[in-house]
Every structure is written in structure tokens, then in C-alpha cells.
Chains A and B, each alone.
Chain A
Amino acid sequence: MPTNRIGKAVIVLENLTYFYPGSDTPALENVNLRVCEGEFVLVAGPSGGGKSTLCRVLNGLIPHFYGGRLRGRVLVDGINVSTAPVRELSKRVGMVFQNPVNQIVNVTVEEEIAFGLENMMYPPEVIGERIEWALKVLGIEHLRRRPTHALSGGELQKVALASVLALRPKILVLDEVTANMDPYSTRELLRLLRKLKAETGTTIVLVEHRLSEAMQYADRLVLLNRTVVAEGRPRDLLKEDVAELLGVEEPPITRLFRRLGIDSLPLSVEEAVEVIKECVEAKR
């Protein structure tokens, strides 16, 4: 399938099949996927379709923490996930989970962001700079000295993101992180991810149910339902009309354009405006 594969593959999944302990049905079955350096991949699929499982494989929580049976090959930045220690992976893969409560361990926001940096033995001045930067890009400078237990769900999510982004990982894996974020923050996060990708070549794997906002930023859309059901440029996949069948929410403008019988399906509202204007011109 044609995609803009620029660099070398940093994530390689070959015939990956995985069973959670005590389960007879695989959570992932025969998954094949390559993600290139600097690629922005959006992963969508129904609940129970294996999206979170896939994320756990990418940072080694599967199989090292969860156990279970893993077949096939998983290489992340050249490292074999099944045999490498989790520590090796966590240097390369920054991961933020759906539920930020699970990953926040420190008392204040500032300490939380400093925690990972200190573990990686960065010098104090670098730690200071990274904290400043992370607070700023996520727009949470005002939360700096606030206790983490008194933050709202969305604020916690931003703190979890800040503490991972501050580590500048080569690969970012984000599992439905926007679910509790306000719409404006979601838009800003997506713009930030695009910028990181362009400026530092960060590879991004973003799991999302809602495609309305995220689609225009991704190089590739992967639809996962235990196995890769479809993949390709977001625009091409929309045309194939597979998303909604799979329990993935299509943007309202896509549904509208399809009903109107307009062939060129827009990825953003801006694009939709252009297309409608052209249609009106053509009518004259």
C-alpha cells in the first residue's frame, strides 16, 4: 500500500499473535506492521480490538509484566521486545496510557515531570530546561506547584504527557490520551506532535477512537480488530468506507460528503470549505 515511508523501519511486527494468561482467544492475531522513523501512525478500531494490547507490546509490558503467550517477532528500534529488558525499551519508547491515574506517582506536578529525567541521570540544568519546555508546550505552567492529587482528569493527562515528552523519546506511543482533554488542548497536542515529528523526527503511534481531529495529522491510518484489517493514507481508507463498519467514528464532514455524493472526501473542515466552494462555482 502506498505510504510515505521515508526512513528505516523502527517498529517491525511480524506475524505477531498474543494470548493473555489463561485466555484461549488471542488479543492479537497475526499482526504485521512496519512503522518508519518519523512516521505518524494513527491506530483505530473497536473496543476490545487489541489497541491497548498493541501499545503494551511496543514498550515491553507484554510479555514482561503481563506474561501470556507471544508468538512472532517484535522489533522496536532494532531491539527484540521478547528478550530485551524493559529498561532498554523505556529509553526509546515514551508511553502514555488512557488512564493517567495509573502512571502519576509524585506529589507535585514539577516533581512528577522531574522524576523520569532524574532516573535517566540528566544533569540538573538539563532537567530544569526540560521541565520548563514540557510545562510550556502543554500549556500547564500554572499547574507547576499544584499537588497531583488535586488535579482534574484532563489536567492529570497533560501532566502524564509532559513527563513523557520531557524525556524526548525517539518513539511516542499514546493510548487514547485525548479522551479527557478539552477540545482545544486536543488540537494543540496534535499540532505539537506534528511539530515534534517535523523537527526531531519523532515516530508517533497514536491510538484514537475519534478520528475527526486526528486524521488530518496522520501519515497513515491503521484499523485494528485483533489483526490489521486495513491500512493506508487516511484519505484512501475513507474512500474504501471501512471505518464505520469496524466501529470507528468517522468525522461528521466525511459522513456529510458521502451522503452528498461528493467524491473527494475532506480530512479537515478547511478542505471541506474549499470543496463546497468549488461545487458552488461549478453550479454557476
Chain B
Amino acid sequence: MRGGEEVIVAENVWYRYPNGYTALRGVNLRINRGDAVAIVGANGSGKTTLIKHFNGLLKPSQGRVLVLDTDTRSASVAKLARWVGIVFQNPLNQFFRDSVEAEVAFALENFTGEVDPEKICSVLRELGIEHLRRKSPFEISLGEQRRVALASVLVYEPEILILDEPTAGLDYNSKMKLLSILKRLHEKGRTLIVVSHDIEFLARMLLNRVVVLSDGRVVFDGSPKEAFYNVLLLLSSRLVPPQIPELVIRLGLEHLFNPLSEDEAYDFLRSLIGGSFLAGRES
């Protein structure tokens, strides 16, 4: 066992909501430092419930969760939030300041003790919301609110970053920016956990693991290629393959190559159809 490397350990985690509904049914999961993990699964499969255990917002009804070797039952949410930054689906639940800038500044100062307007500016700029800095987080669009919520976590660079449906309401350009921000954080050795239904976004992310949840259990934990080329697994978990894997599977070529994005598919398909077709076009 590589104890020191594991940043989050969930051991046989069960969770029952006060109304009696059991959302998690024995989850076992180990996240290593520097992992880039996608958690996918149907609506109601327990994804959001699970990540709420990673900063102690929820404590397991049975089993235990360790974050950096600390049992979440014995640590405050405030302490855990320094290590684990979560951006939730509904950004309005986390705002309480009267301007975008103040919101982000609060997160930075609260978690690091730093007052650094330059850093705040650069995060806002990176997310394309610099022009909103004096606006109230309550008067901007949902897509913009999501970016503000993201900014207030990115700004203090927690060791572990968890994003719940980060691309919902983001347009293409913002998504591409988010992709490059996540790539940079990954290269800096941060641990990333992304919960998302945006399968095409996940296909472009540099993930090393995909975890599939179904009915409150982990039913798959493996590489993105294994996950996105496993049609049976996907359909039985109410998922669909990204378009490029689906194309390759329908062409019956999955035993030859397993691209996830169009960039990876290009060379092979070019040589497959290339020759005569392109020659005909060019002449």
C-alpha cells in the first residue's frame, strides 16, 4: 500500500439521508495525489452525495472517509475546505458578498491569509469575467455565476479541487479556457475530481481515471479508454459513449485504435480514407 500518496480514501461508505433514502451503498474509492478523475453516472446515482463527503459536508452513516489521512468525522468543514475546494452545481448557494471581486477576495484571504488584488485579477481574467468584478454575483447570468464560483476556488489553489458539473451553462470558449486551466493545475500536481455529464468535455480532458457510479456503488474504476469504449457498461449506467469512440465502435475498428478526441482519430482515419479521396479532391 502506498499510504502517503493517497489523498482521499473512502472505505465502505454508506449514506442515508434523514428522509430514509439511501444514496450511497458501500463505496470504496482511493484517490491518489495528482490524479485527474472523472466521476460519472446517471442522475441520482450518488455523485454529488459522494463528493460532499470529501470536504466533510456529509459524514458517512457507515464506513469512513479519510482526507489527507484525517478522518472527516474528526475535522471541521472549515479545516477540510483548505485542502479540498469544491465548486457545486448551484453557484448561488455559495455566494454571500456584494461584488464578484469581494467574493473571490474573501476566499483567498480566508484560506491563505493573503490579500493579493493582482492574483484576483488574474484569475478573473483567466475565466473571462474581469469586466464583472464590480457587479453583484446575484445579477449576472448563470454561466457567469459558475465562473465566479470557480474563481473563488481556483484563487486559493487547494491541494484537491472538485468540480460538480463545471461545464453546465458554459459556452464553448469558456469551456476551452476551463480545459486549459485544469490542464495547468494537473501539471502542477494538483488532484482533480470532476463530476460531469458532459461526456465530450471529459473526452478532451487529460484524465487518468474514470469512476462510474450506479445506484450508490462504484461499478467501474479504470482508464478513460476502457470506460468510453465499454458500451455495455455505459448503457447500463445510463451513459452514452463520446462521439469519436461511438464512431470507431460503429465502424468496427475498436480493436485497431481507441481515440477519444478528433485529434487522436485524425491520422488513422486520414490514412484509412485518405489516398484516393483526398487526391481526387486536390486535383
Contact = CB atoms under 8 A, between A and B. Distances in A.
27 contacts: A46-B172, A47-B169, A48-B143, A48-B144, A99-B90, A150-B19, A152-B43, A153-B48, A179-B165, A181-B43, A182-B41, A182-B43, A182-B239, A183-B199, A183-B238, A184-B42, A212-B243, A252-B200, A252-B242, A252-B262, A253-B262, A259-B266, A269-B243, A273-B251, A276-B269, A283-B273, A283-B274
B198 interface: yes
Interface string A103-139: 0000000000000000000000000000000000000
Interface string A16-58: 0000000000000000000000000000011111001000000
Contact of A176 (B89, B169, B246, B270): B169
A187 B235 CA distance: 12
A249 B141 CA distance: 19
Task: Please classify how large the interface on chain A is, using the bins under 10, 10 to 19, 20 to 34, 35 or more.
Answer: 35 or more
A283 B276 contact: yes
A250 to B, nearest CB: 8
Contacts of B48: 152-153
Interface in B226-283: 235, 238-240, 242-244, 246-247, 250-251, 261-262, 265-266, 269-270, 272-278, 280-281
A35 to B, nearest CB: 23
A67 interface: no
B90 A153 contact: yes
B244 A154 contact: no
Given A153-B89, A155-B43, A247-B172, A253 B197 contact: no
Given A48-B144, A154-B44, A179-B169, A253 B247 contact: yes
A152 B246 CA distance: 28
B273 A276 contact: yes
B111 to A, nearest CB: 26
Contacts of A143: 44
B168 interface: yes
Contacts of B251: 273, 276-277
Given A182-B42, A276-B251, 9 more contacts: A47-B174, A153-B165, A154-B197, A182-B43, A185-B238, A209-B171, A255-B262, A276-B247, A283-B277
A147 B19 contact: yes
A10 interface: no
Contacts of B90: 99, 101, 153
A251 interface: yes
B242 to A, nearest CB: 7
Contacts of A280: 272-273
Nearest to B239: A183
Nearest to A147: B19
Contacts of B272: 276, 280
Q: Which DSSP category, helix, strand, loop or mixed, fits chain B's interface? A: helix
A261 B283 CA distance: 13
Given A248-B172, A249-B171, A280-B273, A184 B235 contact: yes
B142 A210 contact: no
A141 to B, nearest CB: 13
A256 B266 contact: yes
B175 interface: yes
Nearest to A274: B250
A199 interface: no
Given A48-B144, A176-B169, A244-B172, A253 B43 contact: no
A249 B174 CA distance: 11
B85 to A, nearest CB: 19
Nearest to B238: A184
Contacts, number: 156
B43 A154 contact: yes
Given A48-B144, A154-B44, A283-B273, A269 B169 contact: no
Nearest to A277: B251
B89 A180 contact: yes
Contacts of B198: 210
A259 B269 CA distance: 11
Given A46-B171, A99-B90, A256 B141 contact: no
Contacts of B44: 143, 151-152, 154-155
B171 A185 contact: no
B250 A270 contact: yes
Contacts of A153: 43, 48, 89-90, 165
A15 interface: no
A8 interface: no
A61 interface: no
Which among B48, B243, B247 has the highest number of chain A CB atoms within 10 Å? Answer: B243
B203 interface: yes
B17 interface: yes
Nearest to B204: A252
Nearest to B240: A183
Contacts of A249: 171-172, 175, 200
Interface in B186-228: 197-200, 203
Interface in A140-174: 143, 146-147, 150-155, 157-158
A47 to B, nearest CB: 4
B170 interface: yes
A6 interface: no
